[in-house]
Structure 1
Amino acid sequence: MVAPPSPTLDAVDRSGGGVRVVFDWDGDRFRHAIYGVRGKRAEPLFASVESSTDKAWPISPSLQQLHVQDNAASGKLLFLTGMAGQSHWSVSVSVQTATWPSELEIGDLPAQYCLAFDVAVRVKQLPEQIGSAYEPCGNAKWLDMDAFTSAHKPPFAAAISGALDGTTAPSAKLSIITPPDRPACRRFTSPLNFAQNLPTTIRWQYWIWSPLN
């Protein structure tokens, strides 16, 4: 089987600084990596964590199909779908110009380009786990935004913030979980202590941008 092409999407400013997502086919699904971009240079910062094929509740969305949509008004959009167990997944990735609501508690940042991930899963039973999980690449590491100052900026960096159901209310912020067996992993997840009729659709959004810009 010939591997599908590796689509990319850049969220960069006029100086060429920002972030990039690259999707690659790996076995039976797409995985992706986030790069920091500075002009012609790009460094991998973190990559999605994927589960084995037999997992009904994967640690990250199980995505087997990818479509590229190019709209003159809204720009390039990556749309992915897939299935694991009895659940159906969809993810869209687009470039947005974001202004940050104070409820997200990510500091006083100006409007800038970001990669916007909109994730949904249709479930027939209460999930064991859901979310979008990442691990650092190479020598990259997670940093607390409180410790990220102009005096200690690395050459490349990317940041993540998110919300449940597309809202920005403090109670709707995504949880961040570190799996006990993967200390370098961070899983951005929707809380599972909700009472909903099944089947139902669970949705969350997150944004990735460069705090260096």
Structure 2
Amino acid sequence: MQPDSAWLELRSQGSSSIGLCFVWCGDRYAHRFEWNEDGQSLIGIESLEGADHEAWPSSPALQQLNLQTNGSGGSCALLLGMAGKNHWSASIEARAESLVFDIACRAQGPAQWLGSSYQISSSCRRVSEHADGSYQLVFGGDCGQFAVRIVADRAVLAYDQQHGRINVLPRPTDDQQTISARWSYTMQLVPFEDTSGEGARP
């Protein structure tokens, strides 16, 4: 039986914890980057999930979740799922102060949409783009503030300012017959001193 929720911890100190929260949403898992402090939660970004009838949802449809410890003693989440006739897999690994995402899709035909979409929460104070194409987001609330940098490792980032979203897309390919895709990206917790006074302070 799959759990209704799960936690992939990135950093913990006393009553403070930062990481990725998985929550069962309809027929699949959504996930959100959040900071919990003394019973209060500050959500940064949250995956946008599609409806159960959509073959090409906004984010990978992931229905099976398994939390494991890797060989180096760190934690990782392995997920599988499908929508329509399309199959997704995901590996999310906690490394030092980063979450490394590796996503794959095996499709049964030309893709209408592939990628991972995130809604930026109302607690976001600033979004800035770096020269390397990465984005840094600063969040603040009653329990404090933190910053996350999203880096495209094997992907393309697209910031939708109008709707307050970050889309992570597979790199374009010249092979129009390709019906499988893979994309990877990293969410880095930014040290407090690297954000001009606005960063993680658990």
TM range (shorter): 0.7 to 0.9
RMSD over aligned CA atoms reads: 3.2
Unaligned ranges ≥5, structure 2: 193-202
Structure 2 equivalent of residue 159 of structure 1 = 149
- 2:17 is equivalent to residue 33 of structure 1: no
* Structure 1 residues 39 and 157, CA gap change in structure 2 (3 angstroms): farther
8 Å contact kept, 1:62–1:82: yes
Normalization by structure 1: what TM-score? 0.72
Structure 1 equivalent of residue 44 of structure 2 = 45
Structure 2 equivalent of residue 210 of structure 1 = 189
Structure 2 equivalent of residue 190 of structure 1 = 170
Letter in structure 2 aligned against 1:20: G
Identity among equivalent positions (%) equals: 26
Structure 2 equivalent of residue 109 of structure 1 = none
8 Å contact kept, 2:124–2:139: no
Letter in structure 2 aligned against 1:212: P
Supply the distance in 2 between the matched residues of 1:187 and 1:153 (Cα, whole angstroms): 18
8 Å contact kept, 1:19–1:115: no
* Structure 1 residues 197 and 145, CA gap change in structure 2 (3 angstroms): closer
Letter in structure 2 aligned against 1:174: V
Q: What is the CA-CA distance between 1:5 and the residue it aligns to?
A: 3.6
Structure 2 equivalent of residue 176 of structure 1 = 158
Normalization by structure 2: what TM-score? 0.76
Give a deviation string over 1:123-181, Cα, whole Å, max 9, x none.
122211111111122432551145x99xx9852222211122xxxxxxxx4141539xx
- 2:99 is equivalent to residue 115 of structure 1: yes
* Structure 1 residues 144 and 18, CA gap change in structure 2 (3 angstroms): farther
Give a deviation string over 1:78-112, Cα, whole Å, max 9, x none.
10100012110011111124xxxxxxxxxxxxxxx
Supply the distance in 2 between the matched residues of 1:205 and 1:198 (Cα, whole angstroms): 18
* Structure 1 residues 206 and 18, CA gap change in structure 2 (3 angstroms): farther
8 Å contact kept, 2:151–2:185: yes
Q: What is the number of equivalent residue pairs in this alignment?
A: 183
- 2:81 is equivalent to residue 82 of structure 1: yes
Letter in structure 1 aligned against 2:168: F
8 Å contact kept, 1:127–1:192: no
Unaligned ranges ≥5, structure 1: 98-112, 165-172
Choose between structure 1 and 2: higher strand proportion. Answer: 2
8 Å contact kept, 1:175–1:191: no
8 Å contact kept, 2:61–2:81: yes
* Structure 1 residues 209 and 16, CA gap change in structure 2 (3 angstroms): farther
* Structure 1 residues 17 and 206, CA gap change in structure 2 (3 angstroms): farther
Supply the distance in 2 between the matched residues of 1:135 and 1:117 (Cα, whole angstroms): 17
